[in-house]
Amino acid sequence: MSKKHKKGNDQIRIVLPITPFLDMSFQLMFFFVLTFRPQAQEGQISMFLPKPPGTTSVAPPPPPVEEPLEPKEEYTIKVRSGGGEIVSISFVDGAGATEVGKQPRDLYDKLKSMAAPKGAKKPTIKIEAMKDLVYGRLVQLMDVCIKAGYDSVGVTELPNTAEAPMN
pLDDT of residue 29: 95
pLDDT in tens, 47-62: 666 677 777 666 666 6
Q: For 66-102, write each residue's pLDDT tens digit.
A: 654 454 588 888 999 888 888 999 988 777 888 988 8
Sorted by where each begins, the domain ranges of the chain are: 74-157
Close Cβ partners of 116 (under 8 Å, ≥ 6 residues apart): 122, 123, 149
Q: Are strands 124-129 and 96-101 parallel, antiparallel or unpaired?
A: unpaired
Give the H or E element holding residue 126. Answer: strand 124-129
Distance, in Å, from the CA atom of 143 to the CA atom of 107, rounded to the nearest integer, reads 11
**CATH class in words for 74-157:** alpha beta
Question: Nearest CA to 77 among 129, 137, 3?
Answer: 129
Q: Which of 84, 121, 79 is nearest to 101 (CA)?
A: 79
pTM: 0.53
Residue 88, amino acid: S
The answer to whether 150 and 125 are in contact (CB under 8 A) is: yes
Whether 7 has a pLDDT exceeding 70, the answer reads no
Q: 15: pLDDT confidence band, cut at 50, 70 and 90?
A: confident
Longest CA pairwise span in the chain (Å): 121
